[in-house]
Chains A and B, each alone.
Chain A
C-alpha cells in the first residue's frame, strides 16, 4: 500500500509539569522536574515514594473543564478531557471537522482510583455509578463527549505502551483511508492499585528516579494525559491547517520473553526501533534525538540500552529519558513523551536526562545529561515499552 503522509496538527498535554504545552515546555527548558512528595493520592501507607502528580484535585480539574462539581468523574477521564481539548483546539477540529474523525485512547486501570475507594460500598448498592466507570472505555467515552463528535472510538490497553499504540493504530486508520483525522493518545491517573502493584514488584525508587545511571534503583510513578491530532496530508490541506510535524514511522513488536521483565538483549525494543526506521525510510544516523522509555528500573534500562546499541552501533544520537520530569505516566507515557518529543523538535532542544550521576558501565553511550539548546532535530525517535513485552517505537519528523 502506498505510504500516506501522516501529519500531526494538534497536541495537548497535562502532567506533573503542568497543564498544557506552554507549561511543559517551560519546565523542560529549565530542567525543572515535576516529581515531588505525594499530595493528591490519599490513603496509602506508601506515601513516602516521590511521584509525578498533576497538582490539581479532581474538583479543580472539573472547574478547569467548566463542569459542575457534582459530576461523576474519574481522574483519568478528567485529565484526558483537558489534554484532548487542547489538541483538538490547536488542530482547529472544533471549527472544521473532517466527517471521519476517530478517537483512539490508551489506558489501563480505568476508573480504579474510584473503585478502590468504594469497592466494598458497591456491594451495598452505594456509589454504583462508579461500577460502569471502572471500565477502560469509560474515560474514552467521556473524552468523546467532551471533544466529539467522533465517527469511531476505541480504547487500547497494553500497559505502559498503550498511548503509543493508540498513535500507531490511529495512523494506520488514516493510512488505510478509514479516517481523515484521529485524536490519539492516552490517559492514566495514579491509583493505590498501581502504586502497590509496582511496590510489590520492588521497582519503585525511594529517591527521584535515575534512568541510565549505574546506581538506578527503580521508577517514580506519574500521572497525566496527552493527545495528538493525526491527520492525512489531504485533510490538513483542505482544512488549511499547518502540520506541527509528521509521524513518519511506527512499529509495535513483542519481546515474547516474560510478563513483566524484558529480555537481556532487548529483542522486542530492537525489532520495534528497526521496523519504525524501515517504515520511515530512515537510516539510524538520521535520528537526531531518542526519547527513551528509560524508566529507571535496572532491567528496562540495560535492555533498552543494549537494543539502542544494536540499532545505532557506535553512533548513538543524543538520548534522554524524560521520566525524571514527569514520572512514569504508565498508559499515558507514549503520548506524553510524543508531545515532549514534538516540543523538543519545534523548539530545537534536547531535554536533559536528569539525575544521572554515573552513567551505566555496561553501555558504550552516555545519556544527555545537560540540556542541549539550539540544535536542529529533524527526526526524533520515541520508545514506549509495556508489560507483556509490548514494545512500540514512533518516529516524529519535521514537516
Chain B
C-alpha cells in the first residue's frame, strides 16, 4: 500500500495560499515576522471569524484549501501537529489572571486555549466524526502527527487524512523565547543565516495542511515512502535507520536528488546537521527555514516546500546550499532534528 499526498496549502511569512514563493520568495530582514494573512472571508463567515483566534482561522483556511484542491469533502482523520498550540488565547487568559487576578476572567479564551482547539474546530466546521488527534512534541510535532496518520493508514482504519502543522508566535512569546536565545541579535540576512556563526534564528509562523490518501489518482502530488522518528539516536542508529529506509524501498543514496534539512541559522542547531553531513554521501542539500523562519512545526512547511519542488519539477537555486538549482527532482529526503533530541527522516518521491 502506498500513501499519497493529494494536496498542500500554506499560510506563512511567504505569500499565503499560493506557490509564488518558489519563483519570487520574500526575503525577510526582521527578527520576528507574522504570517501574511489571506482574505479569510473566502473560507469563513464573518461571525465564525470573529469568534476565532488567528491560529484557528489560519488552520481552517489551509485545511479547507487543501481539501478543495484534493476534491475531498470529508477526511477520515484530522491530525494536528503544534508545538505551542493556541498561544494567543492561552496568553490572554494567563495574562489576565496574572495581572488582574482571578475575579473577572472570561471563559472564551480558556475554551480556545487547549492545543486541540485547532483540530476540533476543523472537525466542527466539516462535521467530521473521524479520528482526531493532536501532537505536541516540540520541534517534531508535525512529524509526530504525520506518523500517527501513517500508522492509522497501515492498520486499514482510515483511507484519507487531513494532516496539519500550526504554530503562531505572539510578540510576548517571541520575547520569552528570546530569553532562551532562540533569536538572532544581528540583522537577518540570508548570509548570516547560512553562516550560522551565532546563536538564534529568525521567527516565522506556520499553518500548513495536507490531504493524504491510500490510493493514487491523477491528483496525487507525491508518495511518502517512509517516515522515521527517533529519540536521541546514536550516530550509528541514525545511519542504520537511513540505510534500512533506503533498502526497504529499493533505493540507494544516489537515487536521492536532494536532502532537505532543518538548518535555521542557529549555531548549535546547524552544527548537528554539519555533524551528520557525511550520511548523505555528497548528495545536494537544500533548506527552507531562511524562507519560512523558525517555529516548532516549521518542518511542516519543509514538507510543503519539498512537495512543491517535486510538483513543479524544480528545486530552485535559492533553496540549495550550493546555490545550483536541481531540475526534475524525483526523490527528496528530509532530515530534521530538535535540540539533537528528536530526529526525523522523511522519504518522498514523485508518483
Q: Is the CB of A153 within 8 A of B231?
A: yes
Shortest distance from the beta carbon of A261 to any chain B beta carbon, whole Å: 10
Task: State whether A201 and B156 are in contact (beta carbons under 8 Å apart), knowing that A136-B115, A155-B136, A176-B151 are contacts in the complex.
Answer: no
Q: Is B124 an interface residue (CB 8 A)?
A: yes
Q: Is A265 an interface residue (CB 8 A)?
A: no
Q: Is A151 an interface residue (CB 8 A)?
A: yes
Q: Is the CB of A388 within 8 A of B136?
A: no
Minimal Cβ-Cβ distance residue in A for B177: A131
Q: Is the CB of A159 within 8 A of B116?
A: yes
Shortest distance from the beta carbon of B235 to any chain A beta carbon, whole Å: 15
Taking CB atoms and an 8 Å cut-off, the chain B residues in 187-219 that contact chain A are: none
Which residue of B95, B133, B176 is within 8 Å of A158 (Cβ)? B133
Minimal Cβ-Cβ distance residue in B for A330: B114
Give 1 or 0 for each of A243-265: 1 = CB within 8 Å of chain B CB.
Answer: 00000000011111111100000
Q: Is the CB of A178 within 8 A of B176?
A: no
Q: Is B324 an interface residue (CB 8 A)?
A: no
Q: With A and B bound together, what is the CA distance between A175 and B151 in angstroms?
A: 9
Q: Is B111 an interface residue (CB 8 A)?
A: yes
Q: Is A95 an interface residue (CB 8 A)?
A: no
Q: With A and B bound together, what is the CA distance between A200 and B19 in angstroms?
A: 43
Q: Is the CB of A253 within 8 A of B114?
A: no
Taking CB atoms and an 8 Å cut-off, the chain A residues in 20-76 that contact chain B are: 44-46
B115: which A residues are within 8 A, CB to CB?
108, 136, 157-158
Task: State whether A267 and B129 are in contact (beta carbons under 8 Å apart), knowing that A176-B155, A254-B120, A387-B116 are contacts in the complex.
Answer: yes
Which residue of A103, A165, A200, A389 is within 8 Å of B123 (Cβ)? A389
Q: Is the CB of A388 within 8 A of B102?
A: no
Taking CB atoms and an 8 Å cut-off, the chain B residues in 155-178 that contact chain A are: 155-156, 172, 175-177
Task: From B10-18, B29-37, B78-86, B325-333, give the one contacting chain A.
Answer: B78-86
Q: Is the CB of B129 within 8 A of A253?
A: yes
The size class of the interface chain B forms with chain A is 35 or more
Q: Is the CB of B132 within 8 A of A115?
A: no
Task: State whether A259 and B117 are in contact (beta carbons under 8 Å apart), knowing that A132-B180, A151-B231 are contacts in the complex.
Answer: yes
Q: Is the CB of B129 within 8 A of A255?
A: yes
A158: which B residues are within 8 A, CB to CB?
115-116, 119, 132-134
The size class of the interface chain A forms with chain B is 35 or more
Q: Is B276 an interface residue (CB 8 A)?
A: no
Which residue of B93, B136, B154, B231 is within 8 Å of A193 (Cβ)? B93
Q: Is B277 an interface residue (CB 8 A)?
A: no
B156: which A residues are within 8 A, CB to CB?
1
B342: which A residues are within 8 A, CB to CB?
153
Task: State whether A173 and B116 are in contact (beta carbons under 8 Å apart), knowing that A116-B97, A125-B179, A156-B134 are contacts in the complex.
Answer: no
Shortest distance from the beta carbon of B151 to any chain A beta carbon, whole Å: 5
A259: which B residues are within 8 A, CB to CB?
111-112, 117, 120-121, 124
Between A and B, 22 residue pairs with Cβ closer than 8 Å are A1-B155, A44-B102, A108-B114, A119-B94, A123-B179, A128-B180, A136-B85, A136-B115, A137-B136, A137-B141, A141-B341, A152-B230, A157-B85, A157-B136, A169-B133, A173-B151, A175-B155, A252-B131, A252-B133, A259-B124, A387-B114, A388-B123
Q: Which 6 A-B residue pairs are closest in the complex by CB-CB distance?
A: A388-B120, A197-B110, A200-B107, A157-B115, A254-B132, A136-B136
